[in-house]
Amino acid sequence: MLIHAQLERRIRSCIEELNALVTGQGCLLTDPEVVHKSMELDELILLAMRPPQSARQTAV
């Protein structure tokens, strides 16, 4: 559960950074920094969607 909480904090932080870039600084969605941060958020969400390791190991 600790890893899940850390991942949740990283996701929230990434969302806040994206929000600051787009609404605070007025960056376009096509701005390279926004694209990079958005891709980072996508990767974090995919990590969060994966089943826990113990569940994967028992399924194999």
What pLDDT digit, counting tens, does each position of 14-43 carry?
A: 999 999 999 999 999 999 999 999 999 999
Instruction: Please tell me the pTM assigned to this model.
Output: 0.77
pLDDT the model gives residue 36 = 97
> Are the beta carbons of 42 and 19 closer than 8 angstroms?
no
Percentage of the chain surpassing pLDDT 70? 85
Say whether pLDDT at 55 is over 60. no
H/E segment holding residue 13? helix 2-19
27 — phi, psi (to 5°)? -70, 145
